[in-house]
Every structure is written in structure tokens, then in C-alpha cells.
Amino acid sequence: MPLSPPVSRSLRHTRAITVEAFARDDGLWDLDASIRDVKTRDIELGSGTRPGGLPVHDLKLRVTIDRDLTIVDAEAASDAVPYPGFCEAIGPAYKKLIGLSLMNHFRLHLKDRLSGVLGCTHLTELAQVLPTAALQAFADEEFETRDGADDNSAKRPFELDRCHALRSDGPAVATYYPRWAIKAVSG
């Protein structure tokens, strides 16, 4: 269902976030993420005027992960920033992501290592989308996403109990993953 029709309005700002996942020939995966902020009109920054249509931020983050969703390499690049010569200096700090698991309290560890003055607000915000992007990339590539009803050795699908629609005691699981459905406990 689409959003309701908006009232009369004018666009002032666009933030675009993209994540592309690449299976590498060496068995690892690259997640290339970017965040781009563009104003429709000229704005005054401490560093001068930024013309409308030019990005205020154009930042990139690449993490390389293994099949266990552990980060084995990371790098950041800043192609457009509000404070040239200063913002870009934080890029090497994103090597602190190496060793973190995208599936084991990643956002908490990210905050510990790169929040506030320890990182770039925008790159750290961008990193927060990596766990779900990796799961989408791995779905039916590295993780089995079908029920496995005909295979007694099949493992429980990873996506169960990760959102309200796929709760084990809900109707979607009963319909699409009947083998793994749990009857709701009445209370």
C-alpha cells in the first residue's frame, strides 16, 4: 500500500543510502555502502557556500566479510564533506570494524568504537545498516531460506523470529514454514 497523498510541499534535502553486496572470487564478500546528502538550494557552511545540487556528504564505506559475517577488512572514503581537509582524516578509524561480527551485537560494538568524536557521524550511521544488508545478500546464497520440509537434516531457517511477520508462533510461519511453527501459548 502506498503512502497517503502529501500536502503541497517542496523538496529541500535528499539523503540516499545504498549498499551493494559482492561475492568475491576468494570466497569473501564485500559490502559497499554509500551515503549522499544533497540540498536543493545553496547553503552556508562554516567552510563556505555549498551550491544547491552538489553533495554536502558523499561518503563510502566498504567492509569485507567472511561467511560467518565477521568483518575481515574495512575502509572509508569521503568524496564530498562539509569541512574539506578535516572530515576525511577519520577514514582510517574505520579499520576498527575489523573483527566485529555483523550478527553479534554489532551496533553496540560500533558505538563503542566509533561514536562521537571517535568517528564520523554519517559513516557510523551508514555502518548501522550493514547487518541487515548482509543478511539480504546471504539469503539463499550462503543461508538456506526455504522450509526444508523434505529434508530431515535441514536447519531452522535463520530469518525466523527476526521480525514480527516471521515470529514462530505467527500465521506467516504456520503458512510458509509449517515445520518450524510453534503454537501460540494461550494465557
**Per DSSP, what are the bridge partners of residue 15?**
37
- 76 and 154, same structural domain? no
Q: Which residues of the chain have pLDDT under 70?
A: 142-154, 184-187
Q: Which three cell numbers stand for residue 33?
A: 555502502
- 60 and 123, same structural domain? yes
| pLDDT, position 144 | 58
Question: Range of 101's domain?
Answer: 13-138
- 128 and 157, same structural domain? no
Interhelix angle for 106-114 vs 130-138, to 10°?
140
pLDDT in tens, 113-165: 999 999 999 999 999 999 999 999 988 776 655 544 444 546 788 788 888 99
DSSP for 122-170, written as a single string: HHHHHHTTHHHHHHHHHBTTTB--S--TT-TTPPPPTTTTSSSTT-TTS
